[in-house]
């Protein structure tokens, strides 16, 4: 019996020690915060925060407007010699009325008056100037761009006709010119190139072209009192108001003395009006070296001084004359 009690005590003692050991062991375990759990809650892992990815908004595409597809067409090659192309102006031919020069010679579409004629010892012409009568074919001012001494010159002219030995030939009557390409009359500045000199009168006044030419040779201060200096734009309006019966005459040198050629070329290079008026009467080579007076000048000289017919090629292309000054006569 003694043995059994003693054994019991030992068992209880062992149990107590075991309990103390468990408590001590429990006190050494790590302490976890938060809601108690049967086992430690695993530490939170770093979870990648989703980032916004930039996606560009679709940009509306530019849709080009439909364009007309040009169909290539052959372009005419420019001719070596510029040709005049009349501006579309309704035709309105002038009609004649009775008129005489100095009460003697009838003035019609074949009339001309030689105001100056000088010959050399061999009989060749040294100089020749004339006043020539023309029939208006319409009532407008035409223009065309020509290349004169490496400069573009807009040339303003009238469509007229003169009867050469009973053959009417259309003629370009040059009034003036302006440096530049296709310059409209409305854009001309009020300088010397925009003016023309004009004498106008009624048919009941005595018509004496030789006296008019004498007035033209007066000093400028006296001459301006006897001729109207008219802007080309004003003359354009005057043309539209002219009656059906009207005779236009123009004066200009045809053959110039050789000792004046250098000055003439200089004037052509600096003064657009002179470039326009003189270019029909002079010929230059490809390097702008003066060759002499042109076939046009010689044709006019032969006709005015010798009554020679106009060469066929010039007759087909049309003649050209210039107006140093104009004379307009109405009934």
Through-space distance between the first and last CA atoms of the chain, rounded to whole angstroms: 181
- The pLDDT assigned to 70 comes to 45
Query: Tens digit of pLDDT for each residue in 148-170?
Result: 999 999 999 999 999 999 999 99
Q: What are the phi and psi torsion angles at 22 (to 5°)?
A: -65, -35
- pLDDT tens for 64-107 read 444 444 444 444 444 344 544 555 799 999 999 999 999 899 99
| DSSP run (H or E) holding 298 | helix 295-306
Q: Given a cut of 50, is residue 33 above it in pLDDT?
A: no
What does pTM read for this prediction? 0.74
Banded pLDDT at 190 (limits 50, 70, 90) = confident
Sign of CA dihedral 317, 321, 326, 331: negative
Task: Indicate the pLDDT class of residue 13, thresholds 50, 70 and 90.
Answer: very low
The pLDDT score that the predictor gives to residue 88 is 78
Give residue 39's pLDDT. Answer: 44
| Lowest mean pLDDT segment, chosen from 132-136, 140-144, 187-191, 250-254 | 187-191
Burial 98-132 (b: 16+ CB within 10 A, else e): ebebeeeeebebebbbebebeeeeeeebebbbbbb
pLDDT of 108 higher than 50: yes
For 259-295, how does the pLDDT look when each residue is reduced to its tens digit (9 = 90+)?
Answer: 999 999 999 999 999 999 999 999 999 999 999 999 9
Write down the pLDDT at residue 87.
Answer: 52
Q: Concatenated DSSP letters for 42-87?
A: PPPP-PPPPPPPP-PPPPPPP-PPP-PPP---PPPPPPSS------
Q: Would you say residue 7 has pLDDT above 60?
A: no
């Amino acid at each position: 019996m003694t043995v059994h009690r003693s054994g019991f005590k030992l068992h209880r003692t062992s149990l107590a020690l075991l309990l103390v050991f468990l408590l001590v062991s429990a006190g050494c375990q790590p302490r976890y915060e938060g809601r108690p759990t049967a086992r430690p809650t695993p530490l939170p892992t770093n979870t990648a925060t989703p980032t916004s990815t930039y996606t560009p908004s679709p940009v509306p595409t530019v849709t080009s407007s439909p364009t007309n597809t040009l169909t290539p067409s052959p372009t005419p090659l420019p001719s070596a010699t510029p040709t005049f192309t009349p501006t579309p102006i309704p035709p309105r031919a002038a009609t004649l009325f009775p008129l005489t020069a100095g009460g003697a010679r009838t003035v019609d579409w074949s009339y001309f008056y030689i105001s100056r004629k000088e010959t050399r010892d061999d009989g060749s012409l040294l100089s020749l100037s004339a006043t020539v009568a023309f029939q208006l074919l319409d009532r407008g001012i035409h223009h065309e761009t020509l290349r004169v001494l490496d400069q573009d010159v807009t040339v303003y002219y009238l469509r007229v006709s003169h009867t050469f030995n009973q053959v009417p030939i259309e003629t370009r009557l040059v009034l003036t010119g302006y440096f530049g390409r296709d310059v409209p009359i409305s854009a001309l500045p009020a300088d010397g190139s925009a003016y023309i000199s004009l004498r106008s009168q009624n048919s009941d006044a005595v018509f004496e072209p030789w006296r008019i030419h004498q007035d033209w040779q007066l000093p400028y201060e006296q001459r301006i009192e006897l001729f109207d200096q008219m802007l080309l734009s004003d003359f354009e309006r005057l043309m539209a108001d002219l009656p059906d019966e009207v005779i236009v005459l123009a004066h200009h040198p045809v053959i110039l003395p050789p000792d004046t050629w250098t000055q003439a070329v200089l004037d052509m290079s600096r003064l657009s009006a002179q470039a326009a008026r003189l270019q029909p009467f002079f010929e230059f080579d490809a390097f702008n070296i003066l060759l002499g007076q042109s076939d046009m000048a010689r044709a006019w000289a032969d006709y005015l001084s010798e009554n020679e017919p106009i060469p066929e090629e010039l007759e087909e292309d049309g003649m050209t004359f210039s107006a140093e000054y104009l004379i307009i006569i109405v009934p």
